[in-house]
Amino acid sequence: MDRATLIVNASAGRRKDLQTLVPALTQALQRAGVQANAALTAAAGEAQSIAADAAASGCDAVFACGGDGTVHEVLQGLVGTKAALGVVPLGTANVFARNLGLAFDPVRALQQQLSVEPRTISVGEVRYTASGSERKRYFIVMAGAGPDGALVYRLLAGKRSRLGRSAYYAHSLRLFLTQSFPAFRVEYRSSESSEWVEQRGVSVMCSRVPNLGGIFRRLATETFAADNKLLLSIAKPPAKIGLPAWFAFSHLALNARNPWLEQVRVSEFRCTPLEQNHRIHAELDGEWIGYLPMSVSLLPLAVSLLMPKDHKAEGKQ
């Protein structure tokens, strides 16, 4: 690694902390013989353009310094380029960093990635419609539709995206008790067949990592790097039974015994509302993207990733 760019989410930590942390990260790179520069983001979407520019200028690595939302934005600018994606956890939600086994300390996390060879991995690709035009985005942690999309939308609308886990669960419970979640159509092609299968669901979650944290910390055993398929979880209707059952069985790591949940390895899937007036929210990596319909597939060998050799599904102290 000769050149690297640090893209820092200015809202991921206190401004005073960043004033000391950013120089510390830059110096850690320089001590390793890496030419480094840092850029603080001030608006949504800025990280994507900075990442794309860094890759085009010949940077060997671009480090997303923030939470999963920052990683998601930087990913958009790096797919299809030669620059490797690095992660420095700073935000409140660091699911991807935790699955990489990165240290919680930002400088130590950076140092873990300096001596590894980039590994090319596949990412999820989502096509959807927003403002009347077709859009395309990528995800590296998860895609979801239904209650989790609605929750992300509510938190975004209320500007409460930095709430801790307990507050997140409290808002989830309030949303479940006050809102109805209509079933929608889920069509998928499994990794074992080319035929489309149709199902009904009140919530879907497509994961690229085994540990989503909280009650979904033991969602799967495979890692995203070793698996070129999508893990699709479908909570069956009605919502008043399917959703609590999913949460309870997930907490006990007994999803295989849950009659209200279908989990299948798929190559692609699509979700569409059953009624035109049903506005069903969708999200990627914890970022709200709009409403169904959406189509999801896997983009093979899409991005290079700095993955510690001893990575595990939990971060290190």
More confident residue, 134 or 179: 134
165-222 residue pLDDT tens: 566 666 666 666 667 789 999 999 988 888 999 999 999 999 898 887 765 666 665 5
Residue 312 pLDDT > 80, yes or no? Answer: no
What's the pLDDT score for residue 313? 44
Instruction: Tell me the pLDDT band of 59, cut-offs 50, 70 and 90.
Output: very high
Measure the CA dihedral 14/18/19/23, to 10°: 170
Within a 10 A sphere around the Cβ of 273, how many other Cβ atoms?
A: 17
What's the pLDDT score for residue 131? 82
Type of residue numbered 3: R
Strand 142-145 versus strand 203-207 pairing type: antiparallel
What is the fold, at CATH topology level, of the domain defined by 123-299? Answer: Tumour Suppressor Smad4 (2.60.200)
What's the pLDDT score for residue 219? 61
Whether a cis peptide bond, with omega within 30° of 0, leads into 23 is: no
pTM: 0.89
Phi, psi values for residue 13, rounded to 5° = -155, 175
Could you give the percent of the chain with pLDDT greater than 90? 60
Tell me the C-alpha to C-alpha distance, in Å, between residue 101 and each of 32, 44, 115: 21, 27, 15
Bridge partners, 40 (sequence order): 8
CATH number of this structure's domain 3-116: 3.40.50.10330
**Tokens in use for 215?**
């009650």
Look up residue 14 and give its DSSP letter: -
Q: Where are the domains of the chain?
A: 3-116, 123-299
What's the pLDDT score for residue 210? 83
More confident residue, 277 or 58: 58
25-50 residue pLDDT tens: 999 999 999 999 999 998 888 999 99
Residue 143 pLDDT > 80, yes or no? Answer: yes
